[in-house]
């Protein structure tokens, strides 16, 4: 079996370095910085711009009142870093190598299902922003754009996230993996924490279903969100374009949505992970791991990375936060694979918290999504610049100059 460097495509870590210092933002970016300085401001702006059903689709978790989402945030806030002073930190370097590539900072865009319902074109906007900022963009099986489209928009940073389609001996799953390889995806991310469809109370209450249907209540919500409605008219209803290949020619958006709902998101076994490991020639990550024994199983199969995550609080309300399980998983992995973190990463400080807790890299979803929903086309660049600015500022405050030093920052 090839090693992790070979599976990443044999690309040297310095092949596309982000130049330092980072170019100063232009006047438009500075204006957005003043208007939308933090996550909470972006979320509130997004809440006013998008229909109620779309906002609740993104903000809610699985349970009534979404307690697991709140728990994720509380667990992140509980991480305290002991700063060191007297350290020369005039320049900090946020660059980091991962699976044979160098990225501009240790945060990437988590896979998002159907983000276009929150703001049309979100997937394409974030793919372009990730390419510009040199951070990983994980395109979901149920992204609105196809594998091929997203890979073209983010050729240097595109990863593909797979939901299994077990029908016909996983024929479609394997075909999507082949498509991702042909499109140039650098990493395959296999999501394991969706063995079935949970009851998302907020979506039920709002009448949100797949395929999406216009009802009196949703029409009323749309009428109160004119910017969203106009952008949706301009771009068309979001579909699941990766799935179109597997339906007859001329299939409607409704047909594609029904197909995705029926075929995807079923339980994945370790035997299937082993089969994927044999089929995929580059770096492979399993996402949704919380138990150290599951991390061990993934390593034994040959996975290169463990993405510790509870799916943003959207699957199992009794699950611990990813950052709570990080130390135990890192101890078990013992350097044999990269340990990554997803869950309530809202700021550069949260990136630093994840690194100081032992993660090699972090991923965020809602932070990027709210920025696009609040701002539109410029929202992706705004989010990446905010993360970079905040990470640099907090590294300086903590007394760390590099990502390696950030991983050794003492916790209280």
Q: Which residues are catalytic?
A: 311
Rounded to a whole number of angstroms, the CA Rg of the chain reads: 20
CA distance 139 to 242: 10
Determine contact, residues 354/71, Cβ cutoff 8 Å.
no
Which one, of 288, 353, 344, 375, lies nearest residue 61 by Cα? 344
- In the block, residue with structure tokens 């609740």: 56
Q: Are 342 and 138 in contact (CB under 8 A)?
A: no
Q: In this structure, are strands 187-191 and 107-109 parallel, antiparallel, or unpaired?
A: unpaired
Cβ neighbours of 9 (radius 10 Å): 16
What is the C-alpha separation between 256 and 267, in angstroms, rounded? 21
Do residues 324 and 343 touch, judged by C-beta distance below 8 A?
Answer: no
Torsion region of 247: left, alpha or beta (phi above 0 gives left; psi -120 to 50 gives alpha): beta
User: Backbone phi, then psi, for 341, in 5-degree steps?
Assistant: -130, 135
Q: Which residues of 286-300 are buried (b: 16+ CB within 10 A; e: fewer)?
A: bbbbbebebbbbbbe
Contact 138, 161 (CB under 8 A): yes
- The Cα–Cα gap between 276 and 7 comes to 13
Identify the bridge partners of residue 286 per DSSP, sorted by sequence position. Answer: 190, 306
Sort residue 339 into left (φ over 0), alpha (ψ -120 to 50) or beta.
Answer: beta
CA distance 235 to 233: 6
Alpha-carbon span 286 to 308, nearest angstrom: 9
Tokens (6 digits) for 93 = 């370097």
Q: Examine residue 49 and say whether the peptide bond preceding it is cis (omega within 30 degrees of 0).
A: no
Alpha carbon distance 304, 339 (integer Å): 9
């Amino acid at each position: 079996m090839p090693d992790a460097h070979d599976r990443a495509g044999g690309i040297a870590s310095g092949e596309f370095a982000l130049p330092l210092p980072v170019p100063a933002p232009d006047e438009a970016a500075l204006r957005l910085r003043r208007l939308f300085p933090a996550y909470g401001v972006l979320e509130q702006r997004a809440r006013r711009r998008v229909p109620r059903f779309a906002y609740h689709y993104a903000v809610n978790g699985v349970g009534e009142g979404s307690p697991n989402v709140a728990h994720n945030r509380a667990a992140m806030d509980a991480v305290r870093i002991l700063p060191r002073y007297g350290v020369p930190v005039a320049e900090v370097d946020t660059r980091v190598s991962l699976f044979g590539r160098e990225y501009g900072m240790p945060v990437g865009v988590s896979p998002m299902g159907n983000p276009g319902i929150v703001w049309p074109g979100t997937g394409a906007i974030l793919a372009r922003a990730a390419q510009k900022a040199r951070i990983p963009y994980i395109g979901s099986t149920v992204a609105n754009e196809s594998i091929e489209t997203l890979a073209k928009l983010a050729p240097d940073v595109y990863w593909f996230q797979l939901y299994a389609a077990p029908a016909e001996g996983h024929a479609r799953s394997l075909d999507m993996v082949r498509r991702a390889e042909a499109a140039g995806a650098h990493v395959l991310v296999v999501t394991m924490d969706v063995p079935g469809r949970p009851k998302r109370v907020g979506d039920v209450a709002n009448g949100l279903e797949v395929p999406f249907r216009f009802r009196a209540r949703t029409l009323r919500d749309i009428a109160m969100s004119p910017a969203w409605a106009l952008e949706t008219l301009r771009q068309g209803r979001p579909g699941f374009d990766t799935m179109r290949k597997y339906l007859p020619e001329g299939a409607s958006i409704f047909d594609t949505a029904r197909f995705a709902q029926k075929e995807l998101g079923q339980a994945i076994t370790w035997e299937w992970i082993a089969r994927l490991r044999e089929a995929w020639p580059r770096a492979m990550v399993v996402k949704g791991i919380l138990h150290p024994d599951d991390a061990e199983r993934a390593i034994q199969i040959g996975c290169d990375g463990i993405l510790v995550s509870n799916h943003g609080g959207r699957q199992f309300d009794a699950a611990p936060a990813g950052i709570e399980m990080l130390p135990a998983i890192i101890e078990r992995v013992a350097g044999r694979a990269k340990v990554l973190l997803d869950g309530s990463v809202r700021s550069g400080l949260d990136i630093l918290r994840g690194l100081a807790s032992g993660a090699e890299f972090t991923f965020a979803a809602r932070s990027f999504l709210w920025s696009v929903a609040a701002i539109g086309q410029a929202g992706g660049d705004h989010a990446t610049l905010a993360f970079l600015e905040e990470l640099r500022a907090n590294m300086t405050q903590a007394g760390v100059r590099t990502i390696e030093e950030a991983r050794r920052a003492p916790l209280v």
